[in-house]
Structure 1
Amino acid sequence: MKKKIKSNPKRFINFFDKIVINPITKILVKITEFQKNNNNYFERLLNNKQVLIVLSLILTFITYYAIDQKIVVLVDNSVEILYNLPVEVDYNEEAYVIEGIPDTVDMTLIGRKADLYLAKQYPSHIITADLTNLKLGTHKVSLKYNQVISSITYKLDPSVITVVIYDKISKTREVEVSLLHKELLDTKLVIDSVKLDRSEVIIKGAEYKLSEVAYVKALVDINNIKNPAPGEITLKDIPLVAYDASSNIIDVEIVPAKVTASITISSPSKTVPIKLIPIGDLAVGKAISALKSNVPTVTLYGDQETLDNISTFPIEIDVAGLAENKTFNLNLTKPSGIRALSVDKITVNITLDSVITKEIENITIVTKNVETGLKAYAINKENSIITVIVKGSKNVIDKLDESNIIAYVDLSGYDVGEHDVKVSIDGPDKTLNYKSKVTTVKIKIVKN
C-alpha cells in the first residue's frame, strides 16, 4: 500500500528542470542530428527552439500528472504489523459487566521506514474503547489508538467491536474442595482432610451468568506440596473456579479469588507376619522340613479400616511335584485396599526331607457358621472326637503343638435335623498335611 503525495508545484519546477527538461532537450537534439539528412521538414521542426520548448513542457506535464495521480510513486512506503496489542477499557467495574471486548487486537502501520521505526519505539501500544455515556444493552464501539504519528496510517483489526453492558449483581456460594494430581502423592501417604480458611465466597457478574453457576471449587494441587510427609501442611493462594452443572467453567468474578487450605496428611500402616502356604503335592515320599523367607514380615500401607482386617500376609508357593530343595523368587501382590508394601519381592528357601505319618487322637470337633436361632451338636461321642492323621517331615512333626490342631464342621446352609457333615482340619504348620481319619460325622441341629 502506498501513501498519497500532495501536489506541490514549486517542489517539482526545479526537479523537472534539472531531471526532465534538460535531458529531454538533449535527446531531441540527438534525434535532430539523426534525422538531419533524411527529413528536411522534421529537421526544420526540431531546430525550432519554440517547438522544443513546447515538446518539453508537454512531456513535463505528463510526467507530473503521472506522479500526482500515483501512476508513478516517488516515495516508497513500508508496512509493519504489530500483533496482540492489549485493549483497555475504563468503566465502573463494581457496577457493570462488559462482554465482547477482545483481550488483544492487531494493528497495521503504513508509512516510511524511518517513521515506522519511531512508531515501534513506544514503550507500550495501548488500544482503548470509549464506553462513555453508553447504557445497558448492545452497542457498536470503535477501537482507538492514541499514540498516533501523523505521517503514518494506522489500521486496527478489528476496528469495531460489539459489546454488551449488564448490571453486575452478587450472590453467595459455598466452596468445595477439588484435589488435583492425587496420583502424584506417595502411595504410603493419605490425605485425611482439607480445611479452607473460608467456607463461602461471593460471586459477581451478569445475572444470567450467576444463574448458571452450580458450584465453586478450590483447586488444591497436590503437586504444589513440597516434600509431603505426615502432619499438617498449609497451602496458600489456592485458585477458585466456578462451574456449571456439566463441569464447564463459568467466567464470573469470585471474591476472594484465592483461599488458603490446611491439609492433614497421615501414613496408616501395619506390619504383619508373612505366612507361607505350599500349594500342591510334593513328589512321592517327600515332605517339607524347612520353609523360610528372607523377610519374615511386611508393612502394609492403606486405609485404616482395611488394615484392621488384616492379620497376616499369605503367600502361596506352588510345590507340585517338587523332589529336591529349591529357592523361589516371588513377587508380592498388594491386597485389595492396600496402596503400598514395604517390600515387593521376597526369596523363599524350601528344604525337603522324607515323609513320615503320625496319628493324633482325641481331637474335639467344633462347629462353625451355625445359622442364627439354631444350635448344633454331635449325636454321640464318636461323632465329636476324632483322630487326625498328620504327614510330613519328622523334624517338623516333632515340634508340632497338637493343641493348635482344629477339627471343625462348616454348617453354613444347614437347617434343623440330622446331617452327615464333612470334617475339615486346620493345622498351625502349613508344611504338614492334615487329614481326619473319618470323612464325615453326624451332627444334629435344633432350634435354640
Structure 2
Amino acid sequence: MLTKKKRSNIVYGLLALFFSLVLFFNANGSNFQNSIATSEVHEETAQDIPVSIEYDSDEYYIQGYEDTVDVTLSGANRVQLNAEANEETRNFDVVADLSDLGEGTHDVPLEVENLSNSVDASVEPDTLTVTIEKKATRNFQIDTQEFEDKLQDGFELDETSVSPQEVEVTSGEETMEEISRIAIVSDIETINEDISDTFSLQAVDENGEELPASLSPQTANVQLEVSAPDKEVNLSPTQTGDAAEGISDFDFQLSENSATITGAQHLLDEVDSLEVPVDVTDVTEPTTRDVNVEVPSQLSSDVNAVSVNITPEFENSEPEETNDNTEETGDTQTPSDADNDNAAADGNDEQNSEMNTVESSSVEEETNTTEEDQEQTAESQETQETQEEAQETQSSVDEQIDAQENEEETER
C-alpha cells in the first residue's frame, strides 16, 4: 500500500505536469497562430526589366536578343515584396553571363541577382538567345536619296545640307559587310516645301532593311531647299449668299487682282484663275470684307486672302439728269429777289412792277436758252453763244436796277 506521503508526492507530480503543459501551450500558441496567418503568399509582376549582359565589349559585338524581360515576384512579406516590385526601390538585377562564350549564337540562362531572401522570382523568358560577333567600327556618309525620292512631281531639290555628314558605326564584322548605307528615318510622304529638322539615323542593307548597329551620333540635322514651277493667275470674285430685296447686282473691287501659284506642272496647267467667294448676305450699303482665296490642294499661293470692296446696285436706279436749267434759273432769280426786297423797302410799286417785268423777260430768255441747249447739245458753238447772250441780258438787268436805285436816291 502506498503511504500517505507517497500519495501526496504523486498528486503534486501530476499537478506540476498539468501546469507545465498549460504553460507550454500558452507560450507557443501565439507563434502557431502567427505561422498560420503568415502562410499566405503574395505575388507581384515587374514588367520590362532590363537584362544586364556580361561580356567582353572591347572584343565582341552582340545582337539578336530581347533586352527586357518580365519578372514574377512572390513572398509572404508584403512590405519587402512591394519594395522589390517598385522600380525606384528594387535591388535585384536580371543578368546573362556570356563571359565564357565565343562567336556564334547561344542560348544563355537568365539569373536574378541581389534579390531579398524573403522574396522568390521567376523570369519570363528564362533564357536569352544572343549572337556574338567580332567587333568592327567604320565611318559612313549619311545618304539623302530618300528625300530626293519623295519630291513632289515638278519640284526640284536645289540645296541639301546635312550635319554631321558622316557617322561612326559599330557592329559585328559579318553585319558590317551587309551595311549598304546610313539612311535618314522620316515619316514625310511628299516634299513640296523647304525643310529644316532633326532626324534619326539607321544602318540598312541594299534592300533598305535595318541592320543591328550602334551609331554615333544617332541623329542628324537636315536642311532642304526646294523649288517648283509657278504660274500667275487672275483672282475672280464670285457672289455667294442671298442679296437683299431691291438689290439687283454687286460691284466687287479686290485689293489684289492676281496671284502666283506654285506646284506640280500638270496641276498648274489645270488652273486658269482662283475663285474669291464673296458672301453678300445682308449687304445693303458699301462694305469692305476680308475674304480667303480658294487654292486647290497640292498647290500653294502667295496670296491667300484679299480685301474686297462690295458696292450694291439697286433696282431702277438710273442716273439723274443734270438740272442745269434749275441752277441757271436760280442764279437769274437771285438779283430779282434782292430787287424785290429793295422795292418793298422803298414802297415804289411802279418800280417794282417794272423790275418784275424785266425779271420775267430775263427768265424767259434764259429758259429759252436752256431749252435750246438741251435740244442742240451736239452744236457746242451755238450753245456757247446762247450762254453769252444770257449773260449780256443779265448784265442789262443789273444795270437797269442800279439806274432805278440811283433815281430813287436823287428824288429823295
Interval containing the TM-score (normalised by the shorter chain): 0.3 to 0.5
Q: More helix by proportion, 1 or 2?
A: 2
Q: More strand by proportion, 1 or 2?
A: 1
Q: Tell me the TM-score normalised to structure 1 length.
A: 0.42
Larger radius of gyration: 2
